[in-house]
Amino acid sequence: MLINLLMKHPDYTQTKIAEELDWDVNTVKYYMNKPKKNFVIMRHGTSQSGYWEVLYKG
């Protein structure tokens, strides 16, 4: 669900992702931590004007 959302909307911030999924921002941060550490997703640019890249979708 989270990876699919990032593929459709790579420009979303974690706040926007939380709004879209009706989650708390801390929940989004928690569930994005492991994919970031495992190089499944990567953030390019700044936190406000950057974008997410999905490197691997298993």
CATH number for the domain spanning 17: value is 1.10.10
Residue pair 56/40 in contact by the 8 Å Cβ criterion = yes
Residue 15, pLDDT score: 96
Residue 45, pLDDT score: 96
Residue 56, pLDDT score: 86
| DSSP result, the chain | -HHHHHHH-TT--HHHHHHHHT--HHHHHHHHHHHHHTTSEEEES-TTT-EEEE----
Residue 20, pLDDT score: 97
Give how many domains the chain has, as a whole number.
Answer: 1
- For the stretch 1-56, pLDDT in tens is 999 999 999 999 999 999 999 999 999 999 999 999 999 999 999 988 999 999 98
Residue 57, pLDDT score: 74
- Domain of residue 32 covers 2-54
